[in-house]
Structure 1
């Protein structure tokens, strides 16, 4: 028997315009001495709803970076979903977080209910965080808000990216309706280093205007903060990366920002992996290791 409008299931989830399905994940990482080496351990892993992690992996050795995969079993975000991720990397710890597959932002329901995704990343003095999720794909008609807040202390380091694909071009289903609100905030000791907010709305002239997005269907930003010589790193990126008119790199307040605006997911993925190959050794002293999950 179909549920009536406004019905509430046993879990409390609604199926009307007031629906709200929450999920949260809290992770903590600490560096602990083990003999003459320091090992990053996942010391906190609390979840509510369909957000999980697999066990930590150490493909770079027991005293290397702790790799953790963030899992969202539904595979996508629908109307009313509210996802919250909170990560704390302790002093001297080194953590890499990624996902096993693309995140999908589904079309809003008949009530037009929006979804939300909020991520907060905190890195203590001497800690290093690599935030490397696979791409997010926004289906036509999706409505929601994404925020990413990165809070660094003292000489903490962070390397990361966010990749967004609009519509499903292979199925000839463009992102023709809906909207996405995106917000980014990066601070060090509470002082803003990078603040950005944008609304992606196919009904706005900026969406197709050459002075705006120009009809691009793939938007991506990569950042690196904590490098000893960011200007040298920028020069290395310009000299050694694949030549293309779709990307540019700048450095402001010690933050490297590499931007991509184009139409090819594979192109931006290749570019960002090239950039990581150049930046990670400069940031951490270790070559870039490809997480195993990307190869499955």
Structure 2
């Protein structure tokens, strides 16, 4: 006669704190922002805040006045992603809300472990009719040997507006440690009323011909994309950018399907960041009728 015995379970395995090829450390942050009428004026409030794992937000800030844009800082205390990390960020803006979401420092994508386990980061942003979202994270630095997937989805409804950017640095420029191996899969989807405005996927593998070819990455170690949806006069915005930004073959701007896109491809992180910052300062008055207000977390 034989008996079947249940296998003991590991608390480490149940929690995801394991160190084999199947490990997964998850973190989740869900935010909801809504427009409220208080004391005879409108204000955007952070009304929903749910988190699991090392993802947090500080209290909302109102550097543009209590009835102005709500600034929210997304915090990831570890400071970067390692093998097995799975970060999921959600934010939803209710009708007529206005929020600027940013981060206090660069997001670092560290080298994969000896098992080559990938990390993942998913961002899902929903913007209701009449709402305005500014998605302005600081740059992302992919260390040599990093392996993972970044996915960003922005769903606009009705006349919702959005401006955002992504600045990506491949390798560690300060330490002269280039990105010579690894794999970075970036996916981006921007929709309005469930219809695609801009879909893109790029797979960065240093060993692939597209990484060095002039028809692809061209061996560039820094790239940046800024997008803006909701401009009333896109041609004027493009002319303003071309007049205000330093002339260079490393960037270009276009407008299609209601989306203004500014692209940078080069080797200088500071140049890319400065370009996006200047473009935002030029576009915000045309886009919202408001001057750009630098988040104070960038100055610390």
Q: Calculate the TM-score normalised by the size of structure 1.
A: 0.96
In the alignment, what sits opposite 2:49? 45
Match of 2:72 among 62, 68, 74: 68
Deviation at 1:234, TM superposition (A): 1.1
Unaligned 5+ segments in structure 1 are: 1-5
Which 4+ residue blocks in structure 1 deviate beyond 4 angstroms? none
Give distance in 2, aligned partners of 1:184 and 1:14.
30
Q: Does 1:30 align with 2:44?
A: no
Residue aligning to 2:137: 133
Q: Any gaps of 5 or more consecutive residues in structure 2?
A: 1-9
Contact 1:7 1:14 in 2 (8 A): no
Q: What is the root-mean-square deviation in Å for CA atoms of aligned residues? A: 1.2
* Pairing 1:76-91 to 2, within 5 Å after superposition: 76-91=80-95
| Greater C-alpha Rg | 2
For these two proteins, the number of residue pairs brought into alignment is 291
Residue matched to 1:3: none
Partner of 1:271: 275
Preserved CA contact (<8 Å) 2:167 2:223: yes
Report how far residue 8 of structure 1 moved: 3.1
Is the 1:7–1:15 Cα contact (8 Å) retained in structure 2? no
> CA shift at 1:210, angstroms?
1.6
- Structure 1 counterpart of 2:181: 177
The answer to whether the 8 A contact 1:94-1:127 is kept is yes
Contact 2:16-2:23 at 8 Å conserved across structures: no
* Distance of 1:224 and 1:292 partners within structure 2: 22
Q: Give TM-score scaled by structure 2 length.
A: 0.95
Alignment partner, residue 195 of structure 2: 191
* Structure 1 residue 10 displacement after superposition: 7.4
Equivalent residue in structure 2 for 1:103, among 103, 107, 119: 107
Asked if residue 120 in structure 1 is aligned to residue 124 in structure 2, the reply is: yes
Conserved 8 A contact 1:168-1:174: yes
